[in-house]
Amino acid sequence: MPCVRTLLGLLAALAAGGAVAFLAYCVYFDRKRRGDPAFRRRLRDKRRARQRQQQQQAGGRGAQLWDPAKNEKLRERFLQEVRMGELWLSRGEHRMGVEHLSNALLVCGQPQELLKVFKHTLPPKVFEMLLHKIPLICQ
C-alpha cells in the first residue's frame, strides 16, 4: 500500500504543480495582452461601437422619452438654440435661424413634436428651409 500512496502523492503534486504553472502562464500573458497599446485601442473602439449601437437602439424604440430633469445641460442647449433661432429669424436672417433651429432639433428628444410646433409657428418659407435641412443634420 505504501507504493500506491506514494504514487497518489506524486500525482497530486504533479497536478498541483501543473495548475500553478497554468495559472502563472495565464497571468503572464494576460498582463502582456493588457499592456499592449493595440489591445487597448481595440477595446476602446469596441466599447464605443457598442455604446453607439445602444444609443441607436434606444432612439429607434422611442420608449425612452426626453426627461429635462435628468438632462439639464441638454435642456439648456435646446433652449439656447431655439432662442438663437428666433433671434436670427426676427432679424430677417432666415438661413442662420434655420441653422440654429436644426441644432435644436438635433438636441431635442422628441423631434416630431417639435416639428409640429415649428409647422404652426414658423412662416412656410422658413419651415420648408428647415425641412430641407433635416437630411443634412441627420448625417
pLDDT tens column, 31-75: 988 888 888 888 889 999 998 888 877 665 544 455 555 677 888
Q: What's the confidence (pLDDT) of residue 63? A: 44
Nearest residue to 105 via CA among 132, 73, 134? 134
pTM for the structure as a whole? 0.48
- Let me know if residue 32 belongs to a domain: no
Does 72 share its domain with 14? Answer: no
Mean pLDDT of 65-94: 81
**Overall average pLDDT of the 84-113 stretch:** 87
Domain match, 80 and 54 both = no
Residue 12, pLDDT > 90, answer yes
Per-residue pLDDT, 68: 52
pLDDT of residue 24: 95
98 and 52 part of one domain: no
58 and 112 part of one domain: no
Return d(Cα 8, Cα 132) in angstroms, integer.
81
- Domain harbouring 81, CATH code: 1.20.960.10
Structural domains in the chain (count): 2
CB-based contact 102:94 (threshold 8 Å)? no
| Residue 11 domain-assigned (yes or no) | yes
75 and 127 share a domain? yes
Task: Name the residue range of residue 18's domain.
Answer: 2-27+37-64
pLDDT at 70: 62
